């Protein structure tokens, strides 16, 4: 055994010499992952896909830009900041930080590295005492989640479903906005279809976590057993629990953040944030269009107008495929129509309502009154 | 380790160390070397071109980040001691994770909910962490001593119970938990440990506590009646009973101490100062068992359950991890680095297990076949066998 | 030369660092009983393992009927007609005698067992050699002596001509030993050749034709039994003169030190009691021996007496103090010293140093610590004192890891520790088990010295010579009861054997309904 190991070592060493000294490993565009992995089918992945798409397009145009992602050693402010330090050491000029967990670390880093540009997705830099400040080297991107949720709710009811479910993670602003938009979209679709008052029921639930676990699966299962046709799973890994329950019950799921149709056959559509698109836009502004100033030093809320939110309209890897093939009646043209209404401002979904509960859990009355629901009857659990 | 530091026969001691004492140390080095070789092979496959500079970074990268090496070594040093100390008594404290989490929670609770006057808030938090871990070690200890329930089973269960309990308690406490960020709030500065003052690092004074505790444990194990009984029980439970030692009391005491050590680890980790002023370490209740507890097992194994050995094995593992992170500068993806580091640690621990098992096996065989042969020869033989065996394993 | 059936010529077997057999030769004639004598670790077992194909020698050759053969495994040995009765029997407990005998060589016709044929053959063999067994009895229900017969029948059934007996008498009663000797002589008469491994000189003198003596892996020589004596053999084996009889002064019994009344201990194996209603006294200045065949409740009784296990009935008093429910440390303080049966399991922490083991019973005394901190120098001085006084030999003195010491010196360490500690009663359980003659002699001397110093000694032993030579009074334990009290001066080994096998008793079953 000893000999074999020695021979292998020698062989590999020789191989190494022949392959020579390739890339130094420096990367100009860096992404820091948050607590999950790069393939989390959520923020990390969505944002990273934007980086990759941009770099590939540039590469085709003959402009090679190095890029890579870094994983923090620990998932807290100091750990994220340390990863940013490492990325800068690694030659990063643009650093993409996906998610609001980076708000404090980016606040610190924007002063420490004034020559490095930061793209902070879904968050705004602030200090530990919640004093917001976005310096000129930071582009803070927020999303109009209510619009994305609106499209999902609209599509579901238009597709003929009347028993809907919403399973949010924790009642953080983004999740709340998705949920409120979902209810408003369902309401508008029901009106268009001329349904009776209260004809659309929505079981509205916050799981209190972003986990894949048995409790969440059981909750979803119960909803399906009660007749719910589709659940809008809106909270990280909660989606996995819901999809697994849906697969067993033969029911449907609406995904969130990124197009989740590839995770499960049960996902009919997804209320996406244009993470990749927004990263692409900002990178383009920096490298190609030279209009970084449009994003620098401020918060940009991306919405339907600038392709920041929407339902997926393309199937990756198949240009001819129909992204709405898992819907019965709702088609691409229906979608284009309602999307246009959001773009030109005919419809402006409400983002926030008054909620008494400190955890942000709205009651059914608060939902009905705050969102002026008539056709939709929310049931909170 | 044995009591070798006799005063009357220094020369003999020296000879003995040369023959026997060094074998566990050389075995550890050998294990590390093996782990490094395998780590290197993985790096070769992942990216041949960068493997040499990448591997060099793993080996030396820690030097550039000594402050972080120190910061990250403290929690695994403490959980390593928690596992190693109990192991000396023959108890496999696999519950270091739960004790760690408990200690962390108690420290957090003291940090948020109590405001003692004076400048010693953080000390109170540390003591609270110690108490929390102790409680979580005590329960499996009582189960083992009085009901003879295997401590492996109870302590595994208490890992889960502790973790879920802590997550639940934190989430239901509005003062400690921030729902919008899904993690704990920032601890007040008074509860955070004083930093070492190294620039841009969370390294803090807990390293001094941790090393002092390890030295203290060494003294307890080697210079006290309690340590004498504890090790005797670990080596041979029947003989310790025969000699009239109070096994039940010792089991409970040992598990309490082990739990307290892990609890301190959790407290030291969560009370560390953040590099961002006004910020702090945060805990995210996401139903995951603390990895530092399990890393403690590897640390203890590599350190041969010897308190001083554990200091160095914790240092080594932290050092390798810090260097490993830097290899991302050489084109290695974080996932590959994780695998490489895991392989190094795994091999270090695994080879030690083999070493222990083999040592016992050989000793038994030798007793039968060669009780009267020259001692040095046997020891040399054993060493050669150990080395050969480890090689064969590969 | 031509009448040797098996020859092992110049065999050298080396384990790394150890010469287990150094140029050893052994020649076995057809129809003789050849003893192989040596102390523990002298290389007897290695040599036989080579003959049986379990080890391969580095040098030397094995010849059968003058022709060199190679034996790579036990099957080769069996093909050459070599069979072995191992010290620990290799029988299937819940098979019958017959099934065990034919195991591995089942007679069959196209796959169907031919039990009738097998039975005929077994019965014929057992008649021929006087090996009476019930072929349909289950192994678990027959005595150890019977089990040994089954092992012997296994060899005969396989038509082996060379029979190796590895320490066959260790587990037998005196009567069974006598029977075995007769059986072995019968084999020799019928032309079979026997290799008889033992360290018991009496048996060799009684039955063997030749004896080959090994010492530390080297051949000391082969002698003809009729031209030699026990003394000469032991000198060859040990390398010096050995005295066999234990020198004892007249006993001067004093006050009662240990008083055991109606002690009953539940069994851990079966539902009944392992020790039933045992009562006796031990006085100062006497050695009382509990004799008995292994497994008749001695182990359980000692566990209860020393506090390792609880008793279910009765009382134990030590120097008039009731210690029935006391813990081990209290008993120790009250004056009980205990040389345990299993020195590796109970007697020593093998991974501790010699000095640590020497204070294992006393480390907690104020002499050896100050407020919980060990006084190393005090321990070292005490250990050195014991090492000198009891001649405990080791490679590195007090800091030797005990595991690396020889069995004899490990036992000396225990004996020294238990004797040096303040005590009134010394409980010595099989104190010479597995030791060589030199060490046995030494330990017997120590036990007698204790008695002469006015201590009470309770000896639990399976060795008949030891029982007869050392004790002042013999209590025979059979199936958990004391069935006889004998005076070694006025009794014979044969009579003792009858008591041990339960055939005789002189103490009536008292208090039958009290338990």
Neighbouring-strand partners of residue A249: none
Phi, psi of A40 (to 5 degrees): -80, 5
Q: Do B279 and A104 touch (CB under 8 A)?
A: yes
Number of Cβ atoms within 10 Å of the Cβ of B266: 36
Whether chain B has a CB inside 8 Å of the CB on A111: the answer is no
Length of chain B: 394
Distance (Å, whole) CA A120 – CA A99: 7
Choose from B290-299, B352-361, C110-119 the range with maximum mean pLDDT: B290-299
Q: Is residue B388 very low, low, confident or very high in pLDDT (cuts 50, 70, 90)?
A: very low
Q: Which residues does B230 contact at the CB level (< 8 Å), separation at least 6?
A: B88, B89, B221, B250, B254
Structure tokens at B388: 């050969």
Say if residue B385's pLDDT is above 60: no
Interface size B-C, in CB pairs within 8 Å, comes to: 144
Q: Is the Cα dihedral A27, A28, A33, A38 positive or negative?
A: negative
Residue B378, CA distances (Å) to B371, C18, C413 in order = 10, 8, 21
Whether chain B has a CB inside 8 Å of the CB on A33: the answer is yes
By DSSP bridging, strand C256-266 and strand C313-318 are antiparallel
Give the CATH number for residue A282: 3.40.50.2300
Distance (Å, whole) CA B34 – CA B54: 17
In a domain, A22, yes or no: no
Pick the range with the lowest mean pLDDT from B247-251, C386-390, C447-451, C494-498.
C494-498
ipTM field: 0.78
Q: Is residue B387 very low, low, confident or very high in pLDDT (cuts 50, 70, 90)?
A: very low
Residue C88 per-residue DSSP state: S
pLDDT computed for residue A24 by the predictor:
52
Residue C507, CA distances (Å) to A358, C186, C275, C491 in order = 87, 38, 15, 16
Q: What angle do CA B107, B110, B112 make, to 5 degrees?
A: 110
The b/e string for C266-281 (b: 16+ C-beta within 10 A; e otherwise) is: beeeeeebbbbbbebb
Q: Do B335 and A26 touch (CB under 8 A)?
A: no
Q: Do A82 and B171 touch (CB under 8 A)?
A: no
Convert the pLDDT of each residue in C238-280 to its tens digit. 777 766 677 777 778 889 999 999 999 998 777 788 899 999 9
Q: Is residue A9 very low, low, confident or very high in pLDDT (cuts 50, 70, 90)?
A: low
Q: Is residue A367 very low, low, confident or very high in pLDDT (cuts 50, 70, 90)?
A: very high
Q: Which residues of B touch A8 (CB under 8 A)?
A: 41
Q: What angle do CA C508, C514, C515 make, to 5 degrees?
A: 95
Q: Do A23 and B326 touch (CB under 8 A)?
A: no
Residues A259 and A341 in one domain: yes
Average pLDDT, whole number, for chain B? Answer: 82
Q: What percent of chain C has pLDDT over 70?
A: 96
Neighbouring-strand partners of residue A256: A271
Pick the range with the lowest mean pLDDT from A287-291, A336-340, C99-103, C245-249.
C245-249
Distance (Å, whole) CA C414 – CA C434: 14
What is the chain B residue with the closest CA to C434?
A: B368
Strands (E), chain B: 177-178, 183-184
Residues A251 and A333 in one domain: yes
Q: Do B372 and C380 touch (CB under 8 A)?
A: no
Residues A133 and A61 in one domain: yes
Q: Do B3 and C356 touch (CB under 8 A)?
A: yes
How many Å from the N-terminal Cα to the C-terminal Cα in chain B? Answer: 27
Convert the pLDDT of each residue in B251-290 to its tens digit. 999 999 999 999 999 999 999 999 888 899 999 887 788 8
Q: Do B52 and A23 touch (CB under 8 A)?
A: no
Q: Do A16 and B49 touch (CB under 8 A)?
A: yes
What is the number of domains present in chain A?
2
Q: Do A81 and B391 touch (CB under 8 A)?
A: no
Residues A73 and A200 in one domain: no
Closest approach of chain A CAs to the CA of B180, in angstroms?
5
Q: Do B276 and A77 touch (CB under 8 A)?
A: yes
The answer to whether residues B263 and B131 touch, using CB atoms and an 8 Å cutoff, is yes
Distance (Å, whole) CA C398 – CA C60: 41
The answer to whether residues B43 and B336 touch, using CB atoms and an 8 Å cutoff, is yes
The answer to whether residues A167 and A204 touch, using CB atoms and an 8 Å cutoff, is no
Subunit partners of chain C (3 or more CB pairs within 8 A):
B
pLDDT computed for residue C344 by the predictor:
86
Q: Which of B179, B186, B325 sits opposite A359 (nearest CB)?
A: B179
Structure tokens at C107: 């007679």
Convert the pLDDT of each residue in C8-63 to its tens digit. 999 998 876 668 888 999 999 999 999 998 876 678 878 888 998 888 888 899 99
Q: Is residue B393 very low, low, confident or very high in pLDDT (cuts 50, 70, 90)?
A: very low
pLDDT computed for residue B353 by the predictor:
62
Q: Which residues of B touch A208 (CB under 8 A)?
A: 171
Residues A283 and A346 in one domain: no
By DSSP bridging, strand C425-429 and strand C456-461 are parallel
Assign residue B305 a region: left if phi > 0, alpha if psi is -120 to 50, beta otherwise?
left
Mutate to test the interface with C, among B360, B364, B371, B379 (most CBs of C within 10 A): B371
Residue C343 per-residue DSSP state: I
pLDDT computed for residue B363 by the predictor:
56
The third-level CATH classification (topology) of the domain covering C4-238 is Rossmann fold (3.40.50)
Q: Which residues of C touch B239 (CB under 8 A)?
A: 345-349, 360
Q: What percent of chain A has pLDDT over 70?
A: 93
pLDDT computed for residue A16 by the predictor:
45
Distance (Å, whole) CA C73 – CA C82: 11
Convert the pLDDT of each residue in C6-15 to its tens digit. 999 999 988 7
pLDDT computed for residue B365 by the predictor:
55
Domain boundaries, chain C: 4-238, 256-335+422-500
Q: Is residue B394 classed as helix, strand or coil in its secondary structure? A: coil
Q: Which residues of B touch C49 (CB under 8 A)?
A: none
Closest approach of chain A CAs to the CA of B51, in angstroms?
8
Say if residue B108's pLDDT is above 60: yes
Residues A108 and A215 in one domain: no
Pick the range with the lowest mean pLDDT from A282-291, B119-128, C285-294, C505-514.
C505-514
Residues A174 and A321 in one domain: yes
Closest approach of chain A CAs to the CA of B297, in angstroms?
20
Structure tokens at B257: 């101490």
Q: Is residue A19 very low, low, confident or very high in pLDDT (cuts 50, 70, 90)?
A: very low
Subunit partners of chain A (3 or more CB pairs within 8 A):
B
Q: Does B27 or B120 have the greater pLDDT score? A: B120
Q: Do B331 and A25 touch (CB under 8 A)?
A: yes
Distance (Å, whole) CA C48 – CA C30: 18
Structure tokens at C164: 């190796």
pLDDT computed for residue B357 by the predictor:
60
In a domain, A373, yes or no: yes
Interface size A-B, in CB pairs within 8 Å, comes to: 129
Residues A355 and A241 in one domain: yes
Give 3-state DSSP helix, strand, coil % of chain B, rounded to 5.
75, 0, 20
Say if residue C510's pLDDT is above 90: no
Structure tokens at B371: 């009780």
Question: Residue with structure tokens 């041969």?
Answer: B304
Residues A201 and A321 in one domain: yes
Assign residue B308 a region: left if phi > 0, alpha if psi is -120 to 50, beta otherwise?
alpha
In a domain, A16, yes or no: no
In a domain, A49, yes or no: yes
Residues A169 and A289 in one domain: no
Structure tokens at B380: 């040399």
Question: Are the folds of C4-238 and C256-335+422-500 the same?
Answer: yes
Residue B20 per-residue DSSP state: I
Say if residue C122's pLDDT is above 50: yes
The answer to whether residues C350 and B236 touch, using CB atoms and an 8 Å cutoff, is yes
Residues A109 and A164 in one domain: no
Q: Is residue A119 very low, low, confident or very high in pLDDT (cuts 50, 70, 90)?
A: very high
Average pLDDT, whole number, for chain A? Answer: 88
Q: Is the Cα dihedral A351, A356, A358, A359 positive or negative?
A: negative
Neighbouring-strand partners of residue C7: C27, C63
Average pLDDT of the segment spanning A167-185: 91
Convert the pLDDT of each residue in C168-189 to its tens digit. 887 677 788 888 999 999 999 9
Structural domain of A223: 146-272+313-380
pLDDT computed for residue B71 by the predictor:
93
Q: Which residues of B touch A352 (CB under 8 A)?
A: none
Q: Do B182 and A23 touch (CB under 8 A)?
A: no
Q: Is residue A231 classed as helix, strand or coil in its secondary structure? A: strand
pLDDT computed for residue C144 by the predictor:
77
Structure tokens at B110: 């003291």
Q: Do B286 and A78 touch (CB under 8 A)?
A: no
Number of Cβ atoms within 10 Å of the Cβ of C49: 18
Q: What percent of chain B has pLDDT over 90?
A: 44
The third-level CATH classification (topology) of the domain covering C256-335+422-500 is Rossmann fold (3.40.50)
Average pLDDT of the segment spanning A218-240: 91
Residue A305 per-residue DSSP state: G
Q: Which residues does B349 contact at the CB level (< 8 Å), separation at least 6?
A: B31, B297, B298, B301, B302
Distance (Å, whole) CA B276 – CA B1: 43
In a domain, A23, yes or no: no
Mutate to test the interface with A, among B65, B185, B280, B282 (most CBs of A within 10 A): B282
Average pLDDT of the segment spanning B374-382: 40
DSSP C483-511: EEEE-GGG--HHHHHHHHTTS--SS---S
Q: Is residue B360 very low, low, confident or very high in pLDDT (cuts 50, 70, 90)?
A: low
Say if residue A12's pLDDT is above 60: no
Q: Do C376 and B372 touch (CB under 8 A)?
A: no
Average pLDDT of the segment spanning A335-339: 93
In a domain, A24, yes or no: no
How buried is C400 (Cβ within 10 angstroms: 0-12 exposed, 13-18 middle, 19+ buried)?
buried
Residues A224 and A154 in one domain: yes
Neighbouring-strand partners of residue C322: C317
Whether chain B has a CB inside 8 Å of the CB on A31: the answer is no
């Amino acid at each position: 055994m000893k000999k074999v190991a020695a021979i292998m070592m020698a062989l590999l060493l020789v191989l190494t010499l022949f392959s020579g000294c390739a890339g130094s490993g420096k990367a100009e565009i860096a992404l820091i992952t948050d607590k999950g992995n790069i393939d989390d089918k959520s923020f990390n992945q969505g944002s990273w896909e934007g980086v990759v798409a941009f770099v590939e397009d540039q590469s085709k145009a003959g402009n090679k830009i190095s890029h890579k992602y870094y994983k923090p050693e620990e998932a807290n402010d100091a750990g994220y900041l340390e990863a940013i330090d490492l990325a800068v050491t690694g030659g990063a000029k643009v650093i993409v930080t996906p998610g609001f967990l980076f708000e404090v670390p980016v606040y610190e880093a924007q002063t420490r590295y004034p020559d490095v540009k930061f793209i902070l997705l879904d968050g705004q830099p602030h200090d530990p005492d919640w004093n917001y400040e976005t310096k000129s080297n930071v582009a803070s991107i927020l999303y109009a989640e209510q619009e994305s949720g609106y499209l999902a709710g609209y599509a579901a009811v238009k597709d003929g479903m009347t028993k809907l479910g919403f399973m949010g993670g924790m009642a953080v602003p983004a999740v709340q906005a998705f949920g409120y938009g979902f209810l408003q979209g369902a309401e508008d679709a029901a009106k268009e279809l001329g349904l009776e008052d209260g004809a659309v029921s929505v079981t509205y639930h916050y799981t209190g976590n972003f986990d894949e676990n048995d409790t969440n699966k059981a909750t979803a299962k119960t909803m399906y057993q009660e007749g719910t046709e589709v659940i809008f799973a809106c909270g990280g890994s909660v989606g996995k629990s819901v999809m697994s329950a849906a697969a067993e019950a033969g029911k449907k799921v609406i995904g969130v953040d990124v197009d989740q149709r590839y995770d499960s056959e049960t996902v009919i559509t997804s209320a996406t944030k244009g993470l990749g698109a927004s990263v692409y836009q900002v990178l383009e502004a920096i490298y190609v269009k030279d209009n970084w100033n449009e994003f620098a030093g401020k918060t940009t809320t991306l919405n339907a107008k600038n392709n920041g939110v929407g339902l997926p309209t393309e199937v990756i890897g198949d240009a001819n495929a129909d992204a709405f093939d898992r819907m019965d009646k709702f088609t691409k043209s229906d979608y284009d129509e309602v999307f246009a209404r959001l773009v030109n401002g005919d419809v402006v979904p409400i983002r926030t309502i008054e909620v008494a509960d400190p955890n942000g859990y709205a009651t059914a009355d608060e939902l009905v009154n705050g969102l002026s629901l008539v056709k939709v009857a929310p049931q909170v659990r | 380790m044995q009591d070798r530091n006799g005063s009357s026969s220094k020369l003999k001691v020296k000879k003995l160390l040369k023959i026997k004492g060094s074998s566990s140390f050389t075995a550890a080095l050998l294990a590390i070397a093996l782990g490094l070789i395998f780590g290197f092979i993985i790096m070769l496959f992942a990216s041949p071109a960068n493997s040499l500079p990448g591997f060099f970074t793993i080996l030396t990268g820690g030097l550039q980040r000594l402050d972080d090496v120190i910061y990250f070594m403290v929690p695994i040093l403490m959980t390593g001691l928690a596992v190693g100390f109990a192991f000396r008594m023959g108890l496999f404290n696999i519950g270091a994770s739960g004790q760690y989490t408990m200690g962390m929670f108690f420290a957090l609770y003291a940090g948020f909910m109590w405001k003692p006057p004076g400048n010693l808030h953080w000390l109170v938090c540390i003591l609270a962490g110690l108490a929390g871990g102790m409680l979580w070690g005590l329960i499996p200890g009582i189960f083992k001593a009085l009901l003879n329930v295997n401590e492996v089973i109870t302590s595994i269960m208490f890992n889960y119970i502790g973790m879920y309990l802590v997550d639940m308690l934190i989430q239901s406490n509005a003062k400690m938990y921030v729902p919008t960020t899904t993690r704990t709030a920032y601890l007040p500065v008074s509860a955070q440990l004083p930093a070492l003052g190294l620039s841009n690092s969370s390294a803090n004074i807990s390293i001094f506590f941790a090393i002092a505790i390890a030295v203290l444990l060494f003294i307890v194990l080697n210079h006290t009646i309690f340590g004498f009984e504890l090790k005797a029980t670990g080596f041979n439970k029947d003989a310790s009973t025969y000699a009239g030692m109070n096994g039940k009391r010792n089991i409970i005491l040992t598990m309490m101490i082990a739990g307290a050590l892990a609890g301190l680890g959790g407290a030291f980790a969560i009370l560390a100062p953040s590099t961002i002023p006004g910020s702090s370490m945060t805990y995210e209740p996401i139903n995951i068992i603390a990895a530092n507890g399990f890393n403690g097992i590897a640390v203890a194994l590599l350190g041969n359950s010897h308190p001083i050995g554990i200091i160095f094995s914790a240092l080594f593992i932290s050092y390798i991890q810090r260097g490993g992170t830097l290899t991302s500068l050489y084109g290695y993806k974080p996932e590959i680095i994780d695998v490489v580091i895991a392989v190094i640690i795994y091999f270090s621990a695994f080879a030690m297990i083999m070493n222990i098992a083999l040592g016992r096996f050989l000793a038994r065989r030798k007793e039968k076949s060669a009780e009267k042969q020259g001692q040095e020869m046997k020891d040399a033989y054993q060493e050669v066998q150990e080395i050969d065996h480890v090689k064969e394993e590969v | 030369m031509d009448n040797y059936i098996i020859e092992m010529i110049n065999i050298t077997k080396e384990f790394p660092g150890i010469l287990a057999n150094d140029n050893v030769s052994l020649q076995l004639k057809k129809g003789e009983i050849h003893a192989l004598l040596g102390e523990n670790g002298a290389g007897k077992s290695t040599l036989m393992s080579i003959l049986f194909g379990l080890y391969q020698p580095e040098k030397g050759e094995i010849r059968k009927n003058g022709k060199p053969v190679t034996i790579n495994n036990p099957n080769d040995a069996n093909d050459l007609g070599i069979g072995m009765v191992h010290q620990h029997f290799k029988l299937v407990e819940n098979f019958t005698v017959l099934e065990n005998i034919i195991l591995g060589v089942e007679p069959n016709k196209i796959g169907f067992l031919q039990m009738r044929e097998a039975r005929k053959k077994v019965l014929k063999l057992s008649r021929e050699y006087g090996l009476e067994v019930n072929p349909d009895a289950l192994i678990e229900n027959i005595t150890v002596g019977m089990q040994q017969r089954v092992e012997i029948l296994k060899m005969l059934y396989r038509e082996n001509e060379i029979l190796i007996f590895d320490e066959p008498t260790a587990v037998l009663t005196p009567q069974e030993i006598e029977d075995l000797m007769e059986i072995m002589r019968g084999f020799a008469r019928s032309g079979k050749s026997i290799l008889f491994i033992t360290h018991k000189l009496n048996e060799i003198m009684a039955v063997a034709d030749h004896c080959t003596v090994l010492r530390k892996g080297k051949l000391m020589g082969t002698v003809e039994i009729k031209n030699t004596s026990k003394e000469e053999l032991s000198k060859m084996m040990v390398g010096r003169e050995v005295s066999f009889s234990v020198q004892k002064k007249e006993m001067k019994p004093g006050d009662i030190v240990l008083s055991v009344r109606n002690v009953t201990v539940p069994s851990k194996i079966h539902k009944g009691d392992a020790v039933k209603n045992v009562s006796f006294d031990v006085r100062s200045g006497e050695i009382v021996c509990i004799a008995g065949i292994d497994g008749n409740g001695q182990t359980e009784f000692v566990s209860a007496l020393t506090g390792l296990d609880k008793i279910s009935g009765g009382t134990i008093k030590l120097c008039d103090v009731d210690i029935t429910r006391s813990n081990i440390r209290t008993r120790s303080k009250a004056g009980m010293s205990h040389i345990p049966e299993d020195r590796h399991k109970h007697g020593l922490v093998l991974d501790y140093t010699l000095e640590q083991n020497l204070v294992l019973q006393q480390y907690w005394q104020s002499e050896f610590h100050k407020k919980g901190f060990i006084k190393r120098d005090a321990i070292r001085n005490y250990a050195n004192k014991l090492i000198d006084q009891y001649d405990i030999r080791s490679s590195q003195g007090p800091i030797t890891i005990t595991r690396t010491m020889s069995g004899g010196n490990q036992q000396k360490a225990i004996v020294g520790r238990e004797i040096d500690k303040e005590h009134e009663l010394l409980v010595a359980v099989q104190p010479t088990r597995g030791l060589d003659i030199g060490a046995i002699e030494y330990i017997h001397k120590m036990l007698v010295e204790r008695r002469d110093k006015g201590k009470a000694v309770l000896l639990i032993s399976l060795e008949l010579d030891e029982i007869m030579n050392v004790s002042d009074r013999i209590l025979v334990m059979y199936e958990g009861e004391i069935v006889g009290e004998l005076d070694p001066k006025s009794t014979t080994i044969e009579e003792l054997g009858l008591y041990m096998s339960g055939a005789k008793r002189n103490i009536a079953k008292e208090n039958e309904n009290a338990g």
